[in-house]
Chain A
Amino acid sequence: MALQEQHASANLALIKMTASTHTVDQTTDFRSGNEMAAKAAAQINYHMMGYFPITPSTEIAEYLDEMKANGEHDIVMIPADGEHGSAGICYGAAAAGGRVFNATSAQGFLYMLEQLPVQSGTRFPMVLNLVTRAVSGPLDIRGDHSDLYYGLNTGWPILLAKDPQAVYDLNLIALRLAEHADIRLPVIVASDGFFTSHQKRRVQYITQQTDVQQFVGDMPKPPIDALDLEHIVTIGPYMNDPDLINTRYLQSEAMYRAEDVYQTIAEEFEQISGRRYGLLNQYQMDDAEVVVILLNSASDTAKDTVDQLRAKGIKAGVLAPVMIRPFPKTAIQTALRSAKVVLVGERADSFGGHGANISHEIKSALQEVHSTATVLTRIYGLGGRDFYPDDADQFFDLCLAVVAGKEIPNFGYYGITKGDPALAPSARTKPLKKEQKTGFIHVAQDPKSGQLQVKVPPLRALTAKEQRIAPGHGACPGCGIFPGINTFLKGIEGDVVVLYQTGCAMVTTTGYPFSSHRVTYIHNLFQNGAATLSGVVEMFFERKRRGEIQVSDDVTFIMVTGDGGMDIGMGSAIGTALRNHKMIILEYDNEGYMNTGSQLSYSTPLGHMTSTSNVGKFEQGKTFQHKDTAQIMAATNIPYIFTGVETYAQDLIKKAAKAQWYANHDGMVYGKILIACPLNWKSAEEAGHAIVGAAVDSCFFPLYEVEHGITTITYNPEEKNKRIAVSDWLKTMGKTKHLLKSENHNQLQQFSDEVERRWQRLKAKHENPYL
């Protein structure tokens, strides 16, 4: 043991020696890029973070929430209704004169894209961490730079962090840059999704928060401040020609100044930390003749190849920009002064552009100094395809082939696969036969009362009806989604077209090249599934009207979404409901964004623990009550709304049958089913059926329907003598066990009161057809 300690301290001494110039105390730790972004934000102690979870940047908000629960910072954390909303919160907060922070990726970045030029154009600083990931579609959650490239024209300075250490360091530098009087622009710090965000490395952070605070300084008084009531201002006027060009000119000048200002701040940072950040990371570039240019993490991988080539006497080098907005043109020209062949590896394409953005910017920089270097572009690593050391070897081989006089195409994709014809699908899937899906359920409208009469056979008989989802999906053991959806689909007859919004059900049933759907299925991102399906529905009727589609019975169109999709996609769903298209929206509610790792949704009940509503000394789960989506949808006055659970199967199947009748005859239907998520509810895998049943019996999730505005409770636990206290339901899950402790009595009471209030109101509606 003594020997081990000696050995360890010798090693640690060595780490200290290599970074001996710094003047502030630093702590060596072992952390990922996302952890380091959160660490920097916590130490800065931003006023506010408006955020919406998206892989792989989500963890930043999760870590910050966990730290907040433990009292490590007091950043106000606002869970937005989507990234467009999060960008709005951040914009307002920045205009209101505070320090603002956000993190996003891929679709989230694109969804907020519209807001980014608004913020840079009106000159309000903040820091956004872009944890890069491939842009849809098809949906891919792994890392490439296709989101980053959309950011190039937003007017935000962009810094690239190639490893977890740089994520921390550049986050500190970025805030200074953003707030600098000569700049006043919001700044993006971009790091590689998964490769950097989720990889733990040995890192150092500034030990004392006061040292961080001293480096970033007090927030400079903003020249324009929405909350400076002594100096009232109009922010964002209506401005056409001839004025806008002048505003843009100032913005452009500020952007170019960012290059020098960044370098000054980076030098100051080096003095306190011992870590140097230039405009470029250069490896063996002094006399490099063959150069590979790569953004972020892949650039480090290529260094080994450079060492091997240098050992053979080949003048190879690697170049990786740290800043890409503004584009460090002069530095690039200098760095490439000896270059004969440059290969730009791009983890994104600008389709049809004969090379993506960085290639063209490198080319134009070289053209200005009349360089004769050949520039090759290779699109690589899309969708998170790993970049191995031998991939770097091949990039240099291409450069050397050009040096040797070989004809090499300037532009190409690297790492693509032709595909083995033997593995190609040999036959298309045949649709289910009529008798496999029809003839089990009977719905008839009573001509006198107008009431629907539904006949549903026992579950046993319904096993003869084919499931529309095939086995072999990748959901967690004990997942409640499939019992929920399958039970619902037992009540649906005939042809079905489904649209699944992004979520667990989508991801687990369609992992390429496999699909579990035995009916036609479409995915769209969850901001927009309802609108998309309404387009499908209306096209069906129009093509039918034109005689282009011949069917004996109409198709039933069903959108399947999680509760997350009903948050970010609420606008689309309400618009679709108000237009009253003939379709069904089926929401499976598992009380959180489970696909991205259990962040709170608006449907998460008060006090429930998620990864963004942690339990600690300073936080006891979610701080606001759950959304009543069924009542919101009821207010759109669509023909039919229902709730259901697998536990009361006949009730749910009956409602499905009615839903189909209304969707085929009257218009839109919305239904919400509560389903268990054993992983994130921290409950037993086999217990889901009983837990959602308990949620019903506690009156948290009443079973009811609203038909043309008339509410009917379809199962009343009080009448059956089965009503239980909400605590009896909550005790079945790990995520709520803290609520049963005496110190959380008040919160439990508030929750239970709200459940009772909503239940009493529902009973009143049940009694009165006009409520």
Chain B
Amino acid sequence: MADIRTYTNAAGFYEIRMESIGGLGANLAGKMLAEAGVLRLGYNGSNFSSYGSEKKGTPVKTFIRFAAPETEIRSSSPIEEPHTVAVFHESLLRTENCIAGLPPNGTLIVNTAKTPDEIKTITQLNSGTIVCIDALRIAVEEKSRVNTAMLGAICRVVDFLDENAVKQVLSETFGKKYPALVTANIQTFDRGFTEGRVQEYKSQQQQTHVPFAHPKSTLGYDTQPLGGAIINPGNSVTRDLSASRSGFLPAFAPDSCIHCAACDETCPDMCFVWTAKQDERGRTYQYLQGIDYQYCKGCLRCITACPTDALRSIRETDGYADEHRVTHSVSA
């Protein structure tokens, strides 16, 4: 069993940051990992998540600090230079600054079907260790969730975390509320532990890839309208919510569409784009043009609503949404 002290930073901590979206279970994963470290392995530690008014599907960060048992924990602030970053959802690599503060010898774990080389290209990480784990596939096959697969992958690369201790916490946590799920989760954990593709990259680089920066306001005291009012409302159209999807999206087949608007009525995210056209007799009707995937969170309500085969659910593949997106005319 490795001594934690050989891994800690100058302040005496080993730090892990999880990058996820609400609903994937990073919060629970962080809790179980930290409990294993503190209560089973006897380290000191702390664990918390970034909180706002997070809803399911919005980006969330979970932080875990480990230290030798005698080290006092003083900081309550987010982790700035994590030894390990675990990305629970691949799309976050595009929308969030996941590798901020990761040191040159840091470890990046990503839930992806891609290879470490591909992830290296996407993230422009020059050095360190990249672990790719297809946690979604494992979770689908084991009928569990990605979080336990991610935990397995993390345990493999963090030497001082004994995987059996984590598995004990896992059994206990699920055993209390959902005893039927214990076996599937242990299986998922084990596959996360063994199936990760690990690649180490050496380089001369000494610098942190992307330095950590404290979150900044978009508008400051010189540029904020009075009293916090928003004078360009409707500007939420500039937001990209595609990272909220957890693997599936609706595909549109225009030929089967009867333009009944059942999908439009039930869509919580106003993704359906319409246009007015004249039919052969010169009468004007509304026609469904397609889906603006920038806002689609993959809830699949529209599939249930569609009375024909015009909408069906597909597993999202790279580039599909960009290629098939029909842009909304709504502008701020």
Knowing A300-B76, A418-B222, A423-B218, say if A507 contacts B53 (CB, 8 Å): yes
Report which of A28, A194, A461 forms a contact with B286, defined as CB distance below 8 A: A461
CB-nearest residue of chain B relative to A299? Answer: B74
Chain B 230-264 per-residue mask, 1 if CB under 8 angstroms from chain A, else 0: 11111111110100111000000000000111101
Q: Which residue of B lies closest to A427 (CB)?
A: B232
- B36-44, B113-121, B187-195: which lies at the interface: B36-44
Contacts of A472 in B (CB 8 A): 235-239, 241, 295
Chain B positions 132 through 165: 1 when the CB is less than 8 Å from some CB of chain A, otherwise 0: 0000000000000000000000000000001011
List CB contacts (< 8 Å) of B189-237 with chain A.
214-225, 227-228, 230-237
Q: Which of A81-89, A363-371, A478-486 contacts B (4 or more CB under 8 A)?
A: A478-486
* Contact in complex: B232, A483 (CB < 8 Å): no
Q: Looking across the interface, which residue of chain B has its beta carbon closest to that of A388?
A: B77
Nearest CB in chain A: distance from B171 CB, A: 15
B55 contacts A199, CB within 8 Å?
no
Chain B: minimal CB distance from A36 (Å): 14
23 contacting pairs across A/B (C-beta < 8 A): A4-B41, A7-B42, A12-B42, A14-B42, A300-B76, A301-B75, A301-B76, A301-B77, A386-B214, A416-B220, A418-B220, A460-B260, A460-B261, A472-B239, A476-B57, A477-B299, A482-B268, A483-B268, A508-B55, A517-B233, A646-B265, A685-B300, A690-B304
User: Could you say which residues of chain B place their CB within 8 Å of the CB of A118?
Assistant: none
The stretch among B89-97, B122-130, B270-278, B314-322 that forms the contact with chain A is B270-278
Q: Does A518 contact B (CB under 8 A)?
A: yes
Q: How far does the alpha carbon of A620 sit from the alpha carbon of B69 in the complex, in Å?
A: 41
Q: Evaluate contact between A679 and B76: CB separation under 8 angstroms.
A: no
**Residues in B whose Cβ lies below 8 Å from that of A689:** 266, 301, 304-305
Judge whether A429 is part of the interface by a CB distance below 8 angstroms: yes
Contact A514 B230 (CB under 8 A): yes
- Min CB–CB distance A427 → chain B (angstroms): 7
Instruction: Point out the residues of chain B lying under 8 angstroms from A459, CB to CB.
Output: 260-262, 264-265
B39:A30 contact, CB within 8 angstroms: yes
Q: Which of A352-360, A463-471, A722-730 contacts B (4 or more CB under 8 A)?
A: A463-471
Q: Is the CB of B259 within 8 A of A460?
A: yes
B270, A482: Cβ atoms under 8 Å?
A: yes
- Among all A-B residue pairs, the 4 with the closest Cβ atoms: A419-B220, A11-B42, A472-B236, A419-B223
B232 and A429 contacting across the interface, CB-CB below 8 Å: yes
Query: A529 an interface residue at 8 Å Cβ cutoff?
Result: no
Q: Which residues does chain B contribute within 8 Å of A32, judged by CB atoms?
A: 48
Are B34 and A8 within 8 A (Cβ)? no
- Report if A428 contacts B (CB, 8 A): yes
Are A518 and B42 in touch, CB under 8 angstroms? no
CB contacts under 8 Å to B, within A117-156, are: 137-138, 141-142
Q: Which residues of A contact B76 (CB under 8 A)?
A: 192, 195-196, 199, 297-298, 300-301, 387
| A-contact bits for B51-65, CB 8 A (1 contact / 0 none) | 111011110000000
Interface residues of A (CB under 8 A from B): 1, 3-4, 7-12, 14-15, 18, 28-30, 32, 55-56, 137-138, 141-142, 192, 194-196, 198-202, 297-298, 300-301, 303-304, 386-389, 416-421, 423-425, 427-429, 458-464, 466-467, 469-483, 486-487, 504, 507-518, 521, 595, 646, 649, 678-679, 685-690
Contact A419 B222 (CB under 8 A): yes
Please state if B69 and A15 are interface contacts (CB–CB under 8 Å): yes
Residue pair A463, B274 in contact (C-beta under 8 Å): yes
Q: With contacts A421-B223, A504-B55 known, is A460 near B285, CB below 8 A?
A: yes
Determine whether B45 belongs to the interface, using a CB cutoff of 8 Å to chain A: yes
Asked whether A477 lies within 8 Å of B220 as measured between CB atoms, the reply is: no
Contacts of A466 in B (CB 8 A): 330
**Which residues from B are CB-within-8-Å of A595?**
53
Contacts of B231 in A (CB 8 A): 425, 428-429
A475: min CB distance to chain B, Å: 6
Q: Which residues on A sit within 8 Å (CB–CB) of B267?
A: 482-483
**B77-A470 in contact (CB<8A):** no
Q: B164 contacts A4, CB within 8 Å? A: yes
Residue from B43, B56, B259, B305 with most neighbouring chain A CB atoms (10 Å): B56
Contact between chains at B233 and A521 (CB < 8 Å)? yes
What's the Cα separation between A638 and B15 when bound, in Å?
60
* B220 lies within 8 A of A4 (CB): no
Contacts of A687 in B (CB 8 A): 304
Q: Which applies to chain B's interface (DSSP): helix, strand, loop or mixed? A: loop
Once the chains are docked, how many angstroms separate the CA of A377 from the CA of B222?
23
Q: Which of the residues A199, A303, A421, A460 comes within 8 Å of B222, measured between beta carbons? A: A421
Please tell me if the beta carbons of B56 and A200 are within 8 angstroms of each other in the complex.
no
Question: Would A201 and B42 be within 8 Å (CB), given that A1-B164, A459-B265, A513-B219 are in contact?
Answer: no
Question: In the assembly, what is the distance between CA of A658 and CA of B39, in Å?
Answer: 62
Tell whether B35 is near chain A: CB-to-CB under 8 Å.
Answer: yes
- Decide: B230 and A471 in contact? CB cutoff 8 A: no
Question: Are the C-beta atoms of A4 and B162 separated by less than 8 Å?
Answer: yes
CB of B55 within 8 A of CB of A475, answer yes
Interface, chain B (partner A; CB < 8 A): 1, 11, 22-23, 31, 34-35, 38-49, 51-53, 55-58, 69-70, 73-78, 80, 162, 164-165, 214-225, 227-228, 230-239, 241, 244-246, 259-262, 264-272, 274, 276, 285-286, 288, 292, 294-295, 297-301, 303-305, 328, 330, 332
User: Which residue from chain A places its CB closest to the CB of B217 in the assembled complex?
Assistant: A417
B264 is contacted by which of A202, A419, A463 (Cβ under 8 Å)? Answer: A463
A14 touches B220 (CB 8 A): no
Residues of A within 8 A of B233 (CB): 429, 470, 515-518, 521
List the B side residues contacting A507 at CB < 8 Å.
53
- Note all chain B residues with C-beta closer than 8 A to A480: 268
Instruction: Give, as a whole number of angstroms, the nearest-CB distance from A387 to chain B.
Output: 6
In the complex the two chains form, is B232's CB within 8 Å of A416's CB? no
Given contacts A685-B300, A686-B299, 18 further A-B contacts (CB under 8 A): A11-B43, A55-B53, A200-B31, A386-B77, A386-B215, A387-B76, A416-B220, A417-B220, A418-B220, A419-B219, A425-B235, A429-B332, A470-B234, A470-B270, A483-B266, A515-B234, A685-B301, A687-B304
For residue A298, which residues in chain B have a CB less than 8 angstroms away from its CB? 76
Q: In the complex, which residue of chain A has the Cβ closest to the Cβ of B259?
A: A460
Q: B49, A198: Cβ atoms under 8 Å?
A: yes
Q: Is the CB of B261 within 8 A of A478?
A: no
Contact of B265 among A416, A514, A649 (CB under 8 A): A649
Considering only CB atoms, which chain A residue lies closest to B176 in the complex?
A: A70
Q: Is the CB of A471 within 8 A of B295?
A: yes
Hey, which chain B residues are within 8 Å of A461, CB to CB?
Answer: 285-286
Q: Which residues of B contact A425 (CB under 8 A)?
A: 225, 230-232, 235
Instruction: Tell me the nearest residue of chain B to A478, going by C-beta.
Output: B299
Contact (Cβ within 8 A) A474 B55? yes
Give Cα A28–Cα B69 distance, bound, in whole angstroms. 12
Contact across chains for A478 and B301 when beta carbons are under 8 A apart: yes
A389 to B10, CA, bound (A): 13
**Nearest chain-B residue to A386 (Cβ)?**
B77
B74 touches A304 (CB 8 A): yes
| Contact A514–B236 (Cβ < 8 Å) | yes
Contact between B232 and A428 (Cβ–Cβ < 8 Å)? Answer: yes
CA distance A464 to B46 in the complex (A): 53
B216: A residues at CB distance < 8 A: 417
B135 vs chain A, min Cβ distance (A): 19
Which of chain A's residues have a CB closer than 8 A to the CB of B237? Answer: 470-472
Distance in Å from the Cβ of A132 to the closest Cβ of chain B?
Answer: 13
Q: Are A418 and B221 in contact (CB under 8 A)?
A: yes
A515 touches B236 (CB 8 A): yes
Shortest Cβ gap from B166 to chain A (Å): 11
